[in-house]
């Protein structure tokens, strides 16, 4: 019986590493505060495993054969993948994996009717894992990680309700299938508003971002599930904002918990609204 002892979610915009040095000072301070807080709390949580759910970004599978959820089963996760290095401009890292946890997640989700595809080799990681790793110092602090890379933009995309339901099943697996006393953290990686590859590439929908985080803080999951639709996500950034569905997996896994935002900033050149939240998990 595993315990979810920590849950956070945050943006992973590549500019947070590659374009950080040119950002305004107040933006840098907000970024430092958000990711520094998460990093410190992740270390303090003394996790046996951090399960990170984030957009795959078409990095690991062809469009014609795209899985909705891909689990990294390797004993070590190394990144960033070579082609993304110049674009991310962050340090190389090696993270401990937890193959036995990855196997338990895949098997447990299958028993609950959810297909999690797994690969034993190192996956190709871009900003999805790399940005949280280097900003929260997972590597320096030996945080063991199981990455779950998901489909946020290859149709048909699992929507907010499907992702919430997947999260409910994931929470059930953690609580009932993982070893007794295992300390588990959850990290929803992605968002907020952005439109990569679109004609509004530099657009950040700050109204949407605050609306979304306000709803998280209000804790009304019924309203969230009714209103944070794929259509609403597309309005605020086609093909990008929908990676907030990763946050719905976390929401489903933990249920209704008090949530507070750790910060927010909107800097044009990041091409993405950048925010972070933390849920209170209690004892």
Partner 1 sequence: MAFEQIDKTLVTHDLVQDLKWDAELRAQFEADQVSVLDRYPLKPEERTAIDTGDFRKLYDMGLHPYLGGQLARLMYGNAAGPDATRAVNRLIASLTGEERPDDRTTA
Among 10, 50, 57, 165, contact with partner 1 (rule: CB under 8 A): 57
Interaction between residue 169 and partner 1 (CB under 8 A): no
Stretch that binds partner 1, among 32-40, 59-67, 207-215, 220-228 (CB under 8 A): 59-67
58 or 281, CB closer to partner 1? 58
Q: Rounded to 5 degrees, what are φ and ψ at 167? A: -60, -40
What span, in angstroms and rounded, lies between the C-alpha atoms of 52 and 226? 25
SS3 breakdown of the chain: % helix, strand, coil, rounded to 5? 45, 20, 35
Interaction between residue 11 and partner 1 (CB under 8 A): no
- What distances in angstroms separate CA 201 from CA 81, 166, 176, 269, one per listed residue? 23, 30, 43, 10
Interaction between residue 225 and partner 1 (CB under 8 A): no
Question: Residue 273: helix, strand or coil by DSSP?
Answer: strand
Task: Please state whether beta strands 3-10 and 69-72 pair in parallel, antiparallel, or not at all (unpaired).
Answer: unpaired
Interaction between residue 117 and partner 1 (CB under 8 A): no
Least CB distance from residue 137 to partner 1, whole Å? 20
Give just the sign of the alpha carbon dihedral 96, 105, 130, 66.
positive
- What distances in angstroms separate CA 10 from CA 19, 129, 178, one per listed residue? 17, 11, 25
Helices 99-111 and 160-177 pack at an angle, to 10 degrees, of: 120
Least CB distance from residue 81 to partner 1, whole Å? 8
Q: Between 178 and 197, how does the x/- string for binding to partner 1 read (CB under 8 A)?
A: -----------------xxx
Interaction between residue 25 and partner 1 (CB under 8 A): no
Interaction between residue 271 and partner 1 (CB under 8 A): yes
Among 25, 86, 121, 222, contact with partner 1 (rule: CB under 8 A): 86
Binding site for partner 1 (CB under 8 A): 14-15, 17-19, 22, 57-59, 62-64, 82-83, 86-89, 124, 153-157, 195-203, 230, 234, 238-239, 268-269, 271
């Amino acid at each position: 019986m595993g315990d979810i002892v920590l849950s956070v979610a945050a943006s992973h915009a590549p500019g947070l590493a590659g374009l950080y040095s040119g950002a305004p000072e107040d933006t840098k301070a907000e970024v430092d505060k958000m990711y520094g807080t998460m990093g410190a709390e992740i270390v303090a949580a003394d996790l046996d495993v951090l399960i990170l759910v984030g957009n795959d970004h078409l990095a690991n599978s062809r469009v014609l054969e795209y899985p909705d959820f891909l689990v990294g089963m390797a004993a070590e996760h190394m990144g960033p993948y070579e082609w993304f290095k110049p674009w991310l401009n962050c340090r190389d890292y090696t993270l401990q994996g937890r193959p036995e946890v990855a196997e338990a997640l895949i098997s447990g989700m299958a028993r609950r009717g959810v297909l999690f595809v797994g690969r034993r080799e190192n996956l190709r990681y871009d900003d999805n894992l790399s940005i949280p790793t280097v900003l929260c110092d997972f590597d320096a602090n030996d945080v063991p990680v199981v990455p779950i890379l998901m489909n946020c933009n290859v149709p048909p995309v699992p929507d907010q309700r499907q992702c919430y339901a997947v999260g409910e099943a994931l929470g059930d697996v953690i609580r009932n299938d993982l070893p007794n006393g295992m300390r588990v953290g959850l990290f929803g990686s992605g968002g907020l508003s952005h439109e990569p590859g679109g004609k509004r590439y530099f657009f950040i929908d700050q109204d949407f971002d605050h609306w979304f985080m306000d709803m998280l803080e209000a804790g009304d999951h019924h309203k969230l599930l009714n209103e944070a639709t794929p259509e609403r996500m597309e309005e605020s950034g086609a093909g990008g904002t929908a990676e907030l569905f990763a946050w719905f997996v976390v929401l489903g896994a933990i249920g209704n918990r008090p949530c507070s935002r750790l910060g927010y900033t909107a800097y044009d050149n990041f091409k993405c609204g950048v925010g972070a939240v933390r849920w209170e998990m209690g004892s």
